Structure 1
Amino acid sequence: MKARVLLLSLAALCTACTGPGGLAGRSTAAPGCPATARELPVEALYGSWQARFDGVPGTATVVLGKHPEYVGVRGTITRAAAAPSANPSVAQLAGDVDDEGELAIDESLDGRSISGVWSGTLQPDSCGREFRGTWRNAADETTHPFTLKKTERTAVK
């Protein structure tokens, strides 16, 4: 009988932790911070960001602003030169937060065709200042995990 009571108690504890409102269902976002990108105003995406790609040395600078044609962002990414005598690589970016709450950005080296695709999730404990996800190179279909961190000290409201 004691074993049955113990099992029922453990089952109730697990349900409380994982059910609606349970510990596992609670947001890890700080009070007043967005838990998902759907809660983030598009203006919070505007500004300067630092991008790091797993397996790629160095960082890249991303600058995002208001897209002139739709609710979203447009900007650039500047990557360091691959060789000391080369120029940095600059590509155009355009995107938004999709219906699933993912940051979705298309990248273009020539302004016409897509050269890369970003898909990232807002980190709930970052207060709108960090996304993590996957960048896909359209030329060879390779993927790299990325981290995108806001470098300006603007607050999310």
Structure 2
Amino acid sequence: MIFNRLRFAIFLIAAYTLVTWANAQNKPQNKPQDKPQARCPAAQEMKAEQLHGQWAVRFTKPPAGLPARATMRLQRHAEFSESLAGSVSRDLGAAAGSPAIAGHAAQAQLAGDLDEGLLLLDESSDGVSITGTWNGEMVAGSCGKVYQGSWKDTSRSAPPDAPDVPFTLTRLP
């Protein structure tokens, strides 16, 4: 008789444990999330390789001869693996009917770095001299998909007071 009571008590303890465990599994705070959200990196955490790919460029109030839109391609620099290289392509004939900016080509080479969250690129239309500079920062919350900054005409034909031209880079799919 004592043996049957002991066996019944162990059975009740096991059943209670099983029910408690099953109940804990059904609580929302104990369930794994369907899709864990990836943390958006801070600008300072971004690496140059995360910028490799195609980008749409939009200029705000471009000067005469510079179209409002362009396409940029960024890739790994051939000599400096943690740097950027690439090109920017512009339809200079689409610049509101004005003549193209002297000293600039429809396709220019780019080289630069992503340094402490700052995007710094030099542009060269002739492959020798720097004809433009790009300085930008990642837009907060964009997870590295949008950068804003200013482009500066540094070609020989640029006026001494050439304005900084605001731009927005948006990653293309």
What is the TM-score with the length of structure 1 in the denominator? 0.69
* Cα distance in 1 for residues equivalent to 2:123 and 2:61: 19
Counterpart in 1 of 2:59?
53
* Cα distance in 2 for residues equivalent to 1:142 and 1:116: 12
Unaligned runs of 5+ in 1: 1-29, 153-157
3-state SS, counterpart of residue 82 of structure 1: helix
RMSD across aligned positions (CA): 2.2
* Cα distance in 2 for residues equivalent to 1:33 and 1:58: 29
- The one-letter code of the counterpart of 1:75 is G
- The one-letter code of the counterpart of 2:166 is P
Counterpart in 1 of 2:107?
90
Q: Which residue of 123, 128, 148 corresponds with 1:132?
A: 148
Deviation for aligned residue 1:80:
1.1
* Cα distance in 1 for residues equivalent to 2:86 and 2:38: 30
* Cα distance in 1 for residues equivalent to 2:79 and 2:68: 33
Regions of 4+ moved over 4 Å? none
Q: Residue deviations 1:75-100, cap 9 Å, x none?
A: 0000113258x9971000011112x4
Counterpart in 2 of 1:17?
none
Is the 1:35–1:123 contact (alpha carbons within 8 Å) kept by the matching residues of 2?
Answer: no
Q: Residue deviations 1:43-96, cap 9 Å, x none?
A: 111000001111134310000111011121100000113258x99710000111
Q: Which residue of 109, 113, 117 corresponds with 2:129?
A: 113
